[in-house]
Amino acid sequence: MTAKLLDGKALGLAIRQEVAADVARLAKAGIKPGLAVVLVGEDPASQVYVRSKGKACEEAGMHSVTIRLPDATSQDELLATIDRLNADPAIHGMLVQLPLPKGMDSDRVLRRIDPRKDVDGFHPENVGKLVTGDPTAFRPATPYGIQQMLIRSGIETSGAHAVIVGRSNIVGKPMANLLIQQGPGGNATVTVCHSRSRDLPSLTRQADILIVAIGKAEFCTADMVRTGAVVIDVGINRVDDPSRERGYRLCGDVAFEEVAAVASAITPVPGGVGPMTIAMLLKNTLQAAELSRTA
Ligand code: GUN
């Protein structure tokens, strides 16, 4: 391997320590930032993420509430839960873990969250603020974490060609919006590719910074990567592996070994983007608590 490893675990920890210091400062003003995480159903990966979010919150000195609702919960019950959290002064930020069970209207659910508590940044009001470059927008945690990782690793985005593979509302679209903004971690030229893009390898090979968020195990191979590119792997996929006690292994959307041989820097999975996402969620919760003081 020749690529430098971008250590999301260490960078995420540093951000969490910064957040913890700010939380301690707010405590002197009598404010304890509170985050509520709502999980509907039993999706195993979501359960892991939700547990990690709650634990990180507590470690930063924040108030943490996790609400687990059964798979059979009606949409009206979920909306009523959101209304209750919207009205709860101890809760400054909330998120509803996605994906929601089949039959639920995610758009309707996300719109019900008070935009001032929408620490995921998925409410249309925050999406609009992000697109227009309003600094009070909550930035979705995964792309925000990737941007911080680039900044803190000294990777220049200004003038760089960033190619994003995947156009989701959670990663691809907000990532593009962050990278084209003016300022640190911005000023990039951005291409967004997706399942209908023609000749994908010819596009990805143009990337100085390649961000892969497509949800397919080891999809991005070395032939898709220009020598010296920075590669950010957003995927976390479970692949059957009978040799492991738990029966599976985790891998990203990038074929790590072969791509690490051509890239100049790469994120591992796990330990890359994931810990940055959690750190930025805490940062957004802190931002929500600070905003509530002036509201
Ligand atoms: N599912 C996968 N990523 C996310 C995220 O960032 N927020 C929420 N709410 N659900 C997710």
Do both 58 and 178 map to the same domain? no
| Token code pair at residue 194 | 């997706």
Give me ligand 1 centre to Cα 95, in Å: 8
The residue range of the domain holding 101 is: 31-114
Closest alpha carbon to 138 in 290, 19, 294, 13: 290
In a domain, 119, yes or no: no
Separation CA 262–CA 70 (nearest Å): 46
Active site residues: 53, 97, 120
Residue nearest to atom 9 of ligand 1 (CA): 97
Do both 264 and 149 map to the same domain? yes
Q: Which residues' Cβ are closer than 6 Å to ligand 1?
A: 95-98, 120, 141-142, 170
Q: Are 234 and 193 in contact (CB under 8 A)?
A: no
Do both 146 and 69 map to the same domain? no
Give me ligand 1 centre to Cα 262, in Å: 31
Give me ligand 1 centre to Cα 226, in Å: 30
Separation CA 231–CA 252 (nearest Å): 12
Separation CA 182–CA 107 (nearest Å): 29
What are the pLDDT tens digits along the chain (295 aa)? 699 999 999 999 999 999 999 999 999 999 999 999 999 999 999 999 999 999 999 999 999 999 999 999 999 999 999 999 999 999 999 999 999 999 999 999 999 999 999 999 999 999 999 999 999 999 999 999 999 999 999 999 999 999 999 999 999 999 999 999 999 999 999 999 999 999 999 999 999 999 999 999 999 999 999 999 999 999 999 999 999 999 999 999 999 999 999 999 999 999 999 999 999 999 999 999 999 987 6
Q: In total, how many domains does the chain have?
A: 2
User: What are the strands of the beta sheet with 209-212, ordered from one edge?
Assistant: 4-5, 265-266, 230-233, 209-212, 161-165, 189-193
Q: Which of 40, 66, 98, 214 to mutate to test the pocket of ligand 1 (most atoms within 8 A of CB)?
A: 98
Q: Is 136 exposed, middle or buried (0-12, 13-18, 19+ CB in 10 A)?
A: exposed
Q: How far apart are the first and last CA of the chain?
A: 51
Minimum-distance ligand 1 atom for the alpha carbon of 95:
9
Look at strands 63-69 and 161-165 and give their pairing: unpaired
Give me ligand 1 centre to Cα 98, in Å: 5
In a domain, 239, yes or no: yes
